[in-house]
Every structure is written in C-alpha cells, then in structure tokens.
Amino acid sequence: MTSASETPVALKGEVRSLTGLRIVAALWVVCFHFSFTPGDAYTSYWEPLRPLVHTGALGVDLFYVLSGFVITLTYLDKLGSRPSVRGTVGFLWARICRIWPVYATVISLFGIWMLYRASRITDDFVVWQTVQPTVTWWHWLQQMLMIQLWDKASFAGSSWVGAAWSISAEWLAYLCFPLVVLVLYRLRRAPAWVLGVLAVACMVPFAYACYRTGDPYFDYSWLLRIAGGFLAGAFTCLAVRKVRVTRRVDQIAAVVAVIALIEVLAGLWWGFWRGQGGAEYGGVVVVFFPVLIGALALSQRGLSKALSAGPMVHGGRISYSLYLVHVPVFEIFWSYMLWEPRIGPGSALGSFLVPQVLLFVVLLAHLAYTYVEEPARKAMRRRGPGRWVSRRPVPAQVLADGTRDGVPQEGTGVVGASVADGDPQRPRAVQQAPAGDGAVAEELVPNRTRDGDRRRSA
C-alpha cells in the first residue's frame, strides 16, 4: 500500500469504472466472433460498425492492460516489499481459484461436444478454427493445466475453445509476476510521468507491427501482446498511485478519458480505411489503452461514472464467464445451422434465432458466474494454500493509509486487526478477494469486517 498522499481515493476500494470497462472489452470480443455467424440476414445492420467489430480481437489486449493494472494494485505491496515463497504460493493459488473452475468446466464440456461433432461429420472440421486442435487425453491435460499455448508460435489451434488461448497466456504472466513485481516495487518511486511513458512504450511494439503490416497474428505475437499489455497495466497502476486526486485532477482525467476513447475510435476507422476492410491496421490504438485506463481510475465523472453504474459493474463481474462461454455456444449453434435446414443461413427461423443466441450467452455467463465461478472460488480459497497464506497483525494505520517505504502511516481504524487473505472465517478488518481474468482483470469485492461494517478491500 502507499500513503494517503500517494493513493487516489478511487484506488482505496474497487475501481468500479475499470470493472465496468471489462464488460466493454468482453462484448467487443463477443461481437467480433459473432460477426462470423453464417448468413447475411443482419449484415446491413453490422455494416456501419464494421471498423469496430472487425478489430474486436483487440478486446483481449484491453483485458491484458486491465489485468496488469489490477493485479499490481492488489499485490504490489504484498509481494514486492517482502518476497517469500508463502506469499508467492498464496498469490498463485488465489489466481487459480479465480480463473480455473469455470475454465475447466467449459473446456471439459466443450471437449465432449467436439467428440460428438466429430462423430457426425466426415471431414476434420471439428471446431471453427483455421487450425484444428488435437483431441486426446494428453492435450486435454494440457488444456487443464493452461499450458497449451506455451510451446507454440501461434495461438491458432492451441486451445479447444478458441478464445481460451489468452487464458493460457495470462496464466504465464501470473507465474512470472512474483519476479516482475520485485522490479516494479523498486520503480514505484519514479515520477508519474516517467511511469506513464513506460506504460505507453510497452504497447508500442505491437502497435508498430500493426501499423507496418496490418497483421497482428505473426509468430509469437501472443507473447508480445501479453508481455506488453500486462506490463503497460502495471506501469499505469504505478503512475496512478503517484497522483493525488483533487477536484482539478478529477476533471482533467475525465477529459483525458474522453479524448483517449475518441482517439481509439478514430484509429479504428482509420485502420479500416487504410486496409480497405481487410488488414487490421487499427491495432495501433492499443497505445491509448493505458491512457484510457489510467484516466478512468483517476476520475469519478463522465465515462467513469457511466462505467460505474450497477449494470455495467455486474457485467464486468460476469465478463470472464462471458468470454469463456460465448465461443462454445456460437459454435454449437453454427453447427446446427448447417445440419438443420429449418434454421439454416437465410431461413426465417434461423434469422430469428441469431440475436437470441447473443442474448443467451449473456444469460449463460450470469448463471456460470453465479453458480460456478464465484461458489468455486470461495470454496477453493478456504482450502489448500488459501488457509495458510501470510497472516500477520496489521495496524489500522496501514489498513487506512498504507505504508511509505514499509513504515505505517497515520490513519484511523481498528488497531491490531489482522488480514487473512482468502479465509473468510477469520476476523479481519479488510480482506482482498482477487478476481482477475483473461484474459482478464479482476474486481475487488466488499467483505465483512470484524465489527460488522461493510468495507472495500484496499
């Protein structure tokens, strides 16, 4: 944690605007994949938005920056100030609890569908990917361990569920974070403008590749994307932590957020024009992602206020499940469109069902979050390393205002309250509940304090 003079008010709890931004990133990816639905019943409606939909894969890069920001916000002082094996294991266990249960469920169920589809077709087109993945027990184990991408130059065909390649990439980032955070912690004293420049610079290599070639899918582009995006988010977090929020800063940040959004949209339309609807030159806009996220974190009005609305925040919380379930649902529906003439491309019933499928994936994501993702995360956090991650008395000053160079700062609160990260049955003043995603950033959720008050984790 940092001192009150270094920490914006918005960063002392859940950054709701960034949670709301997650559903925007998720829907950007979902609409991109949905645009491949067979038939042209709705082509004319999609046409005005083609520059935006065509580049929906960039939603993954937005997720990466969000993830780097929130993971750094949550764990910088936990892991960077006092590195330890116990803290590292606790961090990795928290990430597993967050991303693995719903991931494993979706992958396994879709694997059954792949076997069923293979039994019904005569060709080898089992999934809607240009490169077909291998369906064996060994490859299932790789999927379960989330390592299926690591030895491949391209993510094509690496994952059974096409979008899950980014989960494998982010898991690699999580494994590296306990080492990276040691460097980040030592850079936290750098001026905010230097950290901001580093954040943007991390996105430049991928943006430059898109500018020169219009092709974001070169060999090991996935590694460049996760490394650049995650570090950009981390440096953005460090920069934001240095800024003290005042009314003036709030106003300026709100304006900067709008400008960043306009630049993103303008860049996407420019890239579409330059590539004549083919190449993806619009990838240059990733340099604005750290700017947008930093500005949203520093403001509470304008775009931040809109993204902080209840429905947007809930959308952000179900965004990880949405990211995972949408491809399986789409592929099953597309398969039946080819098998059943009654709902085939161009048919009246098929055209009616197309938008219903889009709505269905949002409902399914809500159900997956409510009945799989959250219950499993809470249950797993009460077991294994979640029961013995570092618990030590934390003075109320630290909880309220953080530390400066490891020295508690003055503040208010319950003196001597203990923090038990991941153990909801132990009394504590504040408990952090990491919930990152894939391809995703995490939200900080409220927890019950020892005296019964509701607070946000710091």
272 Cβ neighbours under 8 A, 6+ residues apart: 50, 51, 54, 55, 281, 282
**Separation of alpha carbons 287 and 203, rounded Å:** 5
Look at residue 186 and give its three-state secondary structure.
helix
Which pLDDT does position 278 carry in this prediction? 84
Which tokens belong to 185? Answer: 């912690």
Which pLDDT does position 351 carry in this prediction? 93
Which pLDDT does position 389 carry in this prediction? 53
**Separation of alpha carbons 372 and 367, rounded Å:** 8
196 Cβ neighbours under 8 A, 6+ residues apart: 235, 236, 239, 290, 291, 294
Give the Cβ contact number of residue 254 at 10 Å: 20
Strands of 289-442, DSSP E:
392-393, 403-404, 407-408, 418-419
CA-based R_g, the chain, Å: 22
Which pLDDT does position 138 carry in this prediction? 94
Cβ atoms 280, 267 nearer than 8 A: no
Distance spanning both ends of the chain, measured CA to CA = 8
Q: What is the 3-state secondary structure (H, E, C) of 190-239?
A: CCHHHHHHHHHHHHHHHHHHHHHHCCCCCCCHHHHHHHHHHHHHHHHHHH
Which pLDDT does position 61 carry in this prediction? 97
Which pLDDT does position 426 carry in this prediction? 33
Q: Counting Cβ atoms within 10 Å, is residue 195 exposed (0-12), middle (13-18) or buried (19+)?
A: buried
Which pLDDT does position 30 carry in this prediction? 97
Which pLDDT does position 387 carry in this prediction? 67
Q: How many CA atoms lie within 13 A of 429 on its CB side?
A: 17
Please give the chain's pLDDT, 458 residues, in tens.
344 334 444 465 679 999 999 999 999 999 999 999 998 888 888 888 999 999 999 999 999 999 999 999 999 998 988 888 989 999 999 999 999 999 999 999 999 999 999 999 888 889 999 999 999 999 999 999 999 999 999 999 999 999 999 999 999 999 999 999 999 999 999 999 999 999 999 999 999 999 999 988 999 999 999 999 999 999 999 999 999 999 999 999 999 999 999 999 999 999 999 998 888 999 999 999 999 999 999 999 999 999 999 999 999 999 999 999 999 999 999 999 999 999 999 899 999 999 999 999 999 999 999 999 999 999 999 887 866 554 544 444 433 343 333 333 333 222 222 223 333 333 333 333 334 443 343 433 333 333 333 333 33
Give the amino acid at 234. A
Cβ atoms 312, 23 nearer than 8 A: yes
Which pLDDT does position 9 carry in this prediction? 42
Which pLDDT does position 26 carry in this prediction? 97
Which pLDDT does position 410 carry in this prediction? 34
Q: Is 402 left (phi over 0), alpha (psi -120 to 50) or beta?
A: left
